Amino acid sequence: MTKAVFIDGEAGTTGLQIRERLAGESAIQVLSIAPAKRKDAEARKTLMAEADLVVLCLPDDAAKEAAALASSLGKDAPKIVDASTAHRVSKGWVYGFAELNTEQAGKIRAAAHVANPGCYPTGAIALLNPLVAAGIVPRDYPISVNAVSGYSGGGKAMIETYEPTQTAPSFELYALGLEHKHVPELMAYTGLTRRPIFVPSVGNFRQGMLVSIPLHLDTLPGKPAVAELEATLARHYAGSQSVRVIEGAAATLARLEPEGLNGSDDLELFVFGKPSWKHALLVARLDNLGKGAAGAAVQNIKLMLGLA
């Protein structure tokens, strides 16, 4: 039986990407709203009532309003995947990173409300959650997360500074007030109790992402070796179709570029290290529009509709 999906905010970057991916799914019918009625609450509510699932691709405040609008339908309310940051740490919402642990995919399947992960947190959480859960990285350990994304991660406003006006710099750090809205999400799903330092940046390329986390191994309990970090990640993601630990990367790679997974919904994890210095570097690579946004949303949609 065909399932109906309404993308509220389909004209945005993530909405367009989700629609494009769903176009190839024969078991899903995408409901569309006339452009002139995209902000018409009654028109949107009508489509929500017809849908099995609604995807929210809206700014945070608008996403909260849309979720309330859908909930007002009572027994006819659709399931919701929220691609904004509005509900990622909210009670009653399941976090949409299916590979978080062995139970998470089942929780997503059973959920009425799922919060899609952020692109930066996807990489950092994928790297840190297994290490914190294993006790290798203490919950109160001081962590720094450095990351670079293609400019599409900033949405329409940022894209317009690169395309077509070309007024943006080749590279820039941002959120230098150290109050980025991804930090609560990052803490909630890594298990960290000490607020990490998160330093995002953007480069003059459309999409692709690297997230890196340096570690001083001799300051960790048990002074783990690089191989132990890699093995712990490999065990955690064994059998995963989209998350891969690239074992032995420290011996084979001297450089890593962020666009290597563009166009895919994959996530690659690397552990680099220098045993003599007791240093390690955790790195995640993903397409910020793939596993970092639309790809994860489609994965969650399929789980919630019983199609995966």
Catalytic site positions: 119
Are the C-beta atoms of residues 98 and 105 closer than 8 Å to each other? yes
Q: φ, ψ for residue 54 (rounded to 5)?
A: -115, 135
Query: Tokens for 14?
Result: 């993530």
| C-alpha–C-alpha distance, residues 79 and 16, integer Å | 20
DSSP H stretches of helix in the chain: 13-22, 41-50, 60-71, 104-110, 119-133, 155-162, 183-190, 226-236, 249-252, 295-304
80 three-state secondary structure: strand
| C-alpha–C-alpha distance, residues 305 and 2, integer Å | 10
CA distances from 273 to 29, 51, 65, 196, 276 (A): 48, 49, 47, 21, 9
